[in-house]
Chains A and B, each alone.
Chain A
Amino acid sequence: MPSTIHSAEAVIRFESVSKTYAPRRNGAAVAALDGIDLAVPAGSILGIIGRSGAGKSTLIRLINGLERPSAGRVWVGDAEVSALRARELRALRARVGMIFQHFNLLSSRDAAGNVALPLEIAGWAPVAIRARVAELLDLVGLADQAGRYPAELSGGQKQRVGIARALATRPEVLLSDEATSALDPETTRSILALLARINRELGLTIVLITHEMSVIRAVADRVAVIEHGAIVEQGSAFDVFTRPQAEITRSLLAGEMGHGLPPALAARIGAGARPGATVVLRIAFEDAPDGTAILARLARDTGIEAAILAGTVDEIGGRPFGSLAIGLPPAPDVAARARAYLAQHGIDSQVLGYLPPAQEAFRVA
């Protein structure tokens, strides 16, 4: 649950921020964000996840002042972004880099020219620009593509140019607006690995918005889940993944890390309990070797033999994490006893549904 971060170490802070868009003709005003409180610790990677229209884009654009809050305050370091004048805001933006879903590279400039843009804007001398651009292209692994135009680069290469450009003025914060949503899975992995490396090596704070849990899982330390303009859940990526609280979080997690069920199984599961039905539980555990052994211990100590229906063991932020869907024999109090036993051993369980009696749910597929 919301772990408190002392505001002194936070590089970005939101204090009861709301954003309302002026009403369209004879319509009501649209609330995009409502009462957002958020603190991003320096050097961390915060993932903000939500469905489209949840308010993610507005939220990230408040950080560099592309949007202004209707109420509340936004701080970056000791600057109150929401109170800056145009000139001061432009100076602040040199400290906050940004990358975009559709890269937003100038088609009239080659890779080097695109990376040079923020430096030209900041008024760097041409000689210094040349040296810095070479350094940045090298950092993102595009040293040999300096003279290529965006139309000649692949999506992954374009995003690398975008990252180099965003880092040009040595910002403290990098904002990522769905930076991998237009990329294939493999390229996504390499771009996320690059972001993680930058975070590690440069100590850069990264705020990324996404609608994909896999992105959060790959890089984020912390997660904020946003729905209808409000943060419904936040905490460490590990906690949110292993113990999702909000309905929206569970739904975003479906299909991720064994949170979902194989389609054939999902189709057979019903919501209503009835006599003779197999109870299907999802259990999540942190320490994989111990976790998998829990089923053996459950059988030994309580005599309840559970069947593994689906599951994965993986890691989040370097911590091993397992998630299993298990089927329990159809006896009246079995589910309650098993869940009590699991809870005693620190393992969360959740009833996913019931399999009709006819199914042979006890064999491992």
Chain B
Amino acid sequence: MSPELIRLLVQATGDTLTMVALAASLGTLFGLPLGIFLATSRRGELLAAPIANAVLGFIVNATRSTPFIILVVAIIPFTRLIAGTSIGTLAATVPLTVAATPFLARLIEAAIREVDPGLVEAARAFGASPGQIIAKVLIPEALPGIVSGLTLAVVSLLGFSAMVGAVGGGGLGDLGIRYGYQRFRPEMMLAVVVVLVVLVQAVQTVGEGLARRLNRRIRQA
């Protein structure tokens, strides 16, 4: 590969990492409260608000069931509003975040639901308020599950980020399509795939390691 292509590859990897990191961070920022709310707002629960729960649950499902490539196109006006443009790395972060938020919310919801209800009852018996129960019981106890969910989300985002390449989003997917596919350069395509595989492996290894460390004090007898 020519130095020019290597430069392009490095640039695209950087763009992909930026997009994924931004989308994962923003997705967690929005997804954490959403996930907590979804997990605790059913009838008879801590923050019981069954109607709000049903509405948010529907929105989350609707967003998640929309194919990502359609979502990207469908929210172009929203993307322009936020990023000022619908083309490029920064703009691509918007649909990525929109896709990551409900995904993370469901994963976080599931992790919180796994927390033993007895722990919530104990905290209530000691006079904890709903806020204290969330901060001192639910989040710390669900943390290993949340970290596993985050790992899964980052891996999915790497795949999604390659897709935004198809609509002018920059990053590795963009490079693969424009140079590898449209200009018939299989070595470029291969290089892009190899980098993506390496990235996914790295994320998976780090995420699993972290989740295991958080879990060690829980499972190890």
Contacts and interface: CB of A to CB of B under 8 A. Distances in A.
Interface stretch (B83-91, B98-106, B136-144, B190-198): B136-144
B217 interface: yes
Nearest to B44: A22
Contact of B140 (A108, A118, A149): A108
Interface in A137-160: 149, 151-152
- The secondary-structure label for the interface of chain A is mixed
B220 interface: yes
Contact of A98 (B119, B122, B128): B122
Given A104-B119, A151-B217, A151-B221, A117 B127 contact: no
Nearest to B132: A121
Contact of B217 (A92, A94, A107, A120): A107
B121 A106 contact: no
Interface in B200-221: 217-221
B20 to A, nearest CB: 28
A164 B121 CA distance: 17
Interface residues of A, number: 31
A344 B76 CA distance: 98
Given A117-B123, A120-B136, A90 B128 contact: yes
B70 interface: no
B137 A106 contact: yes
Given A117-B136, A151-B220, A152-B220, A106 B125 contact: no
A91 B124 CA distance: 11
Interface of B: 116, 118-119, 121-129, 132, 136-137, 140-141, 143, 217-221
A149 B126 contact: no
A97 B122 CA distance: 10
B125 A108 contact: no
A64 B221 CA distance: 33
B125 to A, nearest CB: 4
A5 interface: no
Contacts of A89: 127
A340 interface: no
A8 interface: no
B137 A94 contact: no
Contact of B118 (A64, A100, A152, A165): A100
A109 B126 contact: no
Contacts of B137: 106
Contacts of A107: 141, 217-218
Given A100-B118, A121-B136, A149-B217, A108 B141 contact: yes
Interface string A106-128: 11111000000110111000000
A102 interface: yes
A323 B220 CA distance: 48
Given A117-B136, A120-B136, A121-B136, A149 B218 contact: yes
Nearest to B144: A108
B202 to A, nearest CB: 27
Interface in A53-69: 64, 66
Given A149-B217, A151-B220, A151-B221, A106 B141 contact: yes
B145 to A, nearest CB: 11
Contacts of A222: none
Contact of A66 (B119, B125, B218, B219): B125
Nearest to B133: A121
Interface string A155-190: 000000000010001000001000000000000000
A109 B119 CA distance: 12
A132 interface: no
